[in-house]
Amino acid sequence: MTIDQTTAAHDAHEPHEPHEPHLPGPVEAHGIDVIPDTERHGTARSLFALWVAPNVNYLALVVGGALVLMGLSLVQAFAAIVVGSLFSIVTGIVAVTGPASGTPSQVATRAMYGVRGNRVAIAVNGWFVSICYIALNWVAASVIGFSLADRVGIPVSTPVKVVIVVALASATMLVSVYGQGVIMRLYGPLSAALAVVFLVLSGFVVAKADFSYVPALHLGGGDLWVTWIAAVTLIASTPLSYTISSDFARYLPRETSPVAVAGWTALGNAVPSVVFLTVGALAATVVDMSDPQAGLQSIVPGWFNTLFMVAIIVGTLANNALTTYSSGLALQAVGVPLSRIASVVVNGAIGVAMTLYALLVFDFLSTVSSALVLLVTLVGPIMAIYVTDILMRRNRYDGAELSDDTPASPYWYTGGVNLAGAIACLVSFGLALLCASTEAFTGPVAKALDGLDLSLPVGMLGAAALYAGLTRLFYGNDLRVTETPATVHLRGGRIFTADPARPWAVALTIADGRIAAVDQEAPPHAEIVELDGAVVLPGFVDAHTHLIEMGAAAGEVALVDAADLAEIQARVAAAAATAPVRVVGGGWLHPQLGDHAPHRSLLDAVAPDVPVYLSANDLHSAWVNTAALRELGIDADTPDPIGGAIERDADGEATGLLSEMAALGLMRSFLAGQVTDADRDAWLQTGCGRYLADGVTTVVDMGVEAHDLATFERALAADTLPMRIVGHWLVKPAATEAENLAQVEEAIAHARRLDGDRLCIAGIKIMADGVIDSCTASMARPYADGSNAAPIWDRAALTPVVVAADAAGLQIAIHAIGDEASAIALDALEESIRVNGPRDRRHRMEHLEVVSVESIARLARLGVVASMQPVHADPAIQDNWRAMLGDERVERGYPWREITDAGGVLAFGTDAPTAPHPPLPNMYVATTRRSALVEGLPANTPHLAVPLAEALSHATRDAAYASRLEGRVGTIAPGRVADLVVLAADPFAGEPEALLTTRVLSTWVAGVEQAQRAAGSSVLV
């Protein structure tokens, strides 16, 4: 079966689908990519155990003791502990972006700093600071490891030290490499075991503690505040440094309550902190906590000491494993092209080197450590900006959009930087430094306040206020709030998937804009859509169109089907009533006017003030009103243009009929000159609206020029592209090969720059010949009148262009209507394969209206896709086409069936606006070879028709394949983007004529139902 063969080839390579869903294995496969809904699991409560382990640690005891050493009483110390630990709430809030977006913090912060700005923010805060902490923690754990070795009688020589450091680092990295799954499983029991050991220690401490302790040095007034605020800052720095808390929440289901995520994360941080900080403070009332290890050992029995030391080491490593894990994600987010595992290993190696250097050579970590105290003034502002962003967006983040790191990203902002985030961060960091008071550095404000360190409140409140204010100032009130599509379950209909593995289904689930499941039960919380027997198809892909021209044509007054002069006048009057500038239309025919000749007075009668320009159906003449003649500057004295005539009455006055170059040249060039960017923007929206209304979700624009691309990019920047556009850059024949190749270079630059989900440039378009109707298509044998047309590109000109574009990996689409043109095109494509070697190319040929059997076989062998337009074979427009050929060639015109029989891939499109764009009438012609325009005409060579299921597959799956999009769109299968069309009736039931009247109920792009269908379906453009 042809279909199966092509599908097997499709599935072999899916270059646009970098992250196929996979089940969670022992080693975590995900890095900073989005966690698909199908892999989300667990509950918010699991976050509590996860956070207890790294917080049950020795540092809390040391800091608790330090509070008393600073001169605080127990009550004052406890107050500082409680207030400082309240900052865990901030750690908790930050975690909520994990389930919302499925991405780690390092990616979510793109919303705050922009795609590029975030790289800098993460390089400093996420990566460098993490590495310093990793080394500090390993030094601490190693020192205890050395004394443990000493206790059990191992001489602590340098080689032993190295072995201990490497062993501790390896254990940490092993946990980080295995990742999320292992951390979640391991940290529950670990937290419990550590908590037991530390609680036993607490028992010993509480038993010995001096609750009536009075500080030797009584602090009062200003000094007390200075000390107390310093204590709070010291305690708060730990929860504030966990900007990465969402890394560990991103596997939770999207629906997980944000309050639960924030709450359990905050409690997991705060509970052990409060307990062990307090124990540390109590210990300091009876022992000297300036040497905490010796101090604590003096109040516990010997048997407990070894256990305690092991627990300290394990707790420190638990803390470090999380930091190492996040630093791996940070390195990826900075843009280093490493896998998560490789990133962890690289960071571990740097950390080990720093640790060994610090332990064996030079204690630079004390310097690093005091520098970190200052850097902590940075984490306050960063956390404040993060929390402000979450509140402003109401925690709506789209993982896929956050993952886009191209200029097409909605988080690209200004040159890749969110100025609000960058300025707020830098300014508040500066303000915090002015207010900081540390051993290493005291800011002028702190000096003026006698050492009072207000860096924490100033930095955080300043950052929050600046960020909120600047965001409004720079980006207005429409701060991008991503409406994350809900989980939706469609059921109770018939679903044609175009997926040969499962062509039909009855239910499908959409989550995160993608197809999450087919024929599964509705997940809890899903919004249920009852199809009530409606039919769902993959969103159509129009493999060949001209989108902006289609939109322009849609806005013109169509007259081809007007019954008579009165109807023409009525349509013009209606358009004039709504057109502020001018009315442009076309398609009128002389017989419609009856006894009248086209005269300006007939138009003036209904549109006296607005200029009216109406092209005849053959485009060779135009009928305009008096206002238009005035606008064109035509009066009695205007000479006829060369090759054209301004028709005049007996008095020499222009009648309003313009012939040949007066219409084609004078009028058309005037109108083309009036086109503004605003017109093109409007046409693009009209084109997209029409397409969406009729069920098309992706279009391939076959012939993009600079003004088209500028229009697309304006829409992309304004986030008003409602569908997917794949573009082929038009390469026009130039005088020299160098000029031709320069156009290819342009295409390459655009393709590199634009590779987004909504807009990409896939390759080039070359017009190898013209069309049969005007005898400009290049034929192997002459037309009926003996004439023939040379190809627009001969082999010598075409081949270097094709070879260069192919070498750059571009897709090449060649318009080849005549059999001579397609033979030349295949020669050039085959040469490019010979020169550049074998690979998956997906070059394509457009139209192939008359093509030899040999060329079809060759096309299939070379893997060239045949891009064809059933609507062009409509019997209503065949008379002239057949007359021009005049022989047996018409019997093999538009040979779709031959392509697939030969094993070729066939992609369907419409070439709108040369033909109507709606896909269902196109499917009608494809499957019947009868007319979608005129009822009752005999079928056009019906043996070349294709069955409906195949026709639909050519217009969805194969059209997606033709643009390398089969991994994303074109079929309904798990993992594909949820681009769908819902039809009111089943096109497979009953007569094919139903395709001409079947209504589109709704069109979905990325799981979102498009409002554009309100614009109304249209049968004709």
Which residues make Cβ contacts (< 8 Å) with residue 875, sequence separation at least 6? 929, 930, 931, 934, 937, 938, 939, 940
φ, ψ at 893 (rounded to 5°): -70, 140
Q: What length does the chain have?
A: 1021
Q: Smallest distance from the beta carbon of 770 to Zn ion, in angstroms?
A: 12
* Nearest distance in Å: CB 680, Zn ion: 18
Measured from the CB atom, the residue of 354 and 915 that comes closer to Zn ion is 915
Computed from CA positions of residues 496, 499, 505, 509, in that sequence, does the dihedral angle turn out positive or negative?
A: negative
- Integer CA distances (angstroms), 990 to 852, 932, 981, 985, 987, in order: 36, 17, 20, 10, 7
Which residue, 624 or 725, is less far from Zn ion as judged by CB?
Answer: 725
**Chain centre to alpha carbon of residue 875:** 42
Cβ nearer to Zn ion, comparing 281 with 702: 702
Nearer to Zn ion, 724 or 917 (CB): 917
Question: Closer to Zn ion at the Cβ: 319 or 698?
Answer: 698
Q: Is the CB of residue 681 less than 8 Å from the CB of residue 715?
A: yes
Question: In whole angstroms, how close is the CB of 869 to Zn ion at the nearest point?
Answer: 8
- Asked whether 285 and 50 are in contact (CB, 8 A), the reply is no
Alpha carbon distances (Å) from 596 to 25, 589, 599: 79, 12, 8
For residue 346, CA distances in Å to 120, 244, 327, 329, 979 come to 19, 19, 10, 12, 40
Q: Which is nearer to Zn ion, 702 or 962 (CB)?
A: 702
Q: Around Cβ 372, how many Cβ atoms within 10 Å?
A: 19
Q: How far apart are CA 694 and CA 539, in angstroms?
A: 10
* Min CB(817)–Zn ion separation in Å: 10
Q: How far is the CB of 537 from Zn ion (least distance, A)?
A: 24
Q: Count Cβ atoms below 10 Å from residue 90 Cβ, excluding itself.
A: 25
Pick between residue 453 and residue 846 the one whose CB is nearest to Zn ion.
846
> Judged by CB, which is closer to Zn ion: 806, or 911?
911
Q: Compute the distance between CA of residue 604 and CA of residue 552 in angstroms, rounded to an integer.
A: 24
- Tell me whether residue 531 or residue 547 sits nearer to Zn ion (CB atom): 547
Please say whether the beta carbons of 363 and 445 come within 8 A. Answer: no
* Cα–Cα distance measured from residue 881 to residue 869, given in angstroms and rounded to the nearest whole number: 15
Q: List strands edge to edge, sheet with 906-908.
A: 540-545, 696-704, 724-730, 759-767, 811-816, 844-847, 865-868, 906-908
* Cis peptide, bond prior to residue 26, ω within 30 of zero: no
Strand 557-558, strand 583-588: pairing: parallel
- What is the closest distance, in whole angstroms, from the C-beta atom of residue 948 to Zn ion in the complex? 25
Interface with Zn ion (CB under 5 A): 702, 911
Measuring CA to CA, which residue among 767, 765, 900, 745 is closest to residue 824? 767
Beta bridge partners of 570: none
CB-based contacts of 861, cutoff 8 Å, min separation 6: none
CB of 910 to Zn ion, least distance (A): 9
Min dist CB 703 to Zn ion, Å, is 6
Whole-number minimum distance, CB 767 to Zn ion, in Å? 9
Q: Which is nearer to Zn ion, 365 or 850 (CB)?
A: 850
Contacts of 736 (CB under 8 A, 6+ apart): none
- Smallest distance from the beta carbon of 911 to Zn ion, in angstroms? 4
Rounded least distance, CB 658 to Zn ion, Å: 27
> Residue 489: beta bridge partners?
509, 528
3-state helix, strand, coil in the chain (%, to 5): 55, 10, 35
Using the minimum distance from each CB to Zn ion, give the nearer residue, 877 or 1015.
877
Report in angstroms how near the CB of residue 549 gets to Zn ion at its nearest.
9
* Shortest Å distance, C-beta 880 to Zn ion: 18
According to DSSP, the residues that pair with 584 across neighbouring strands are 613
Q: Which residue is nearest to Zn ion (CB)?
A: 911
- Of 702 and 744, the one with the shorter C-beta distance to Zn ion is 702
> Left, alpha or beta for 512 (phi > 0: left; psi -120 to 50: alpha)?
left
Which residue lies nearer to Zn ion by CB, 420 or 702?
Answer: 702
What's the min distance (Å) between Cβ of 815 and Zn ion?
7
Using the minimum distance from each CB to Zn ion, give the nearer residue, 247 or 911: 911
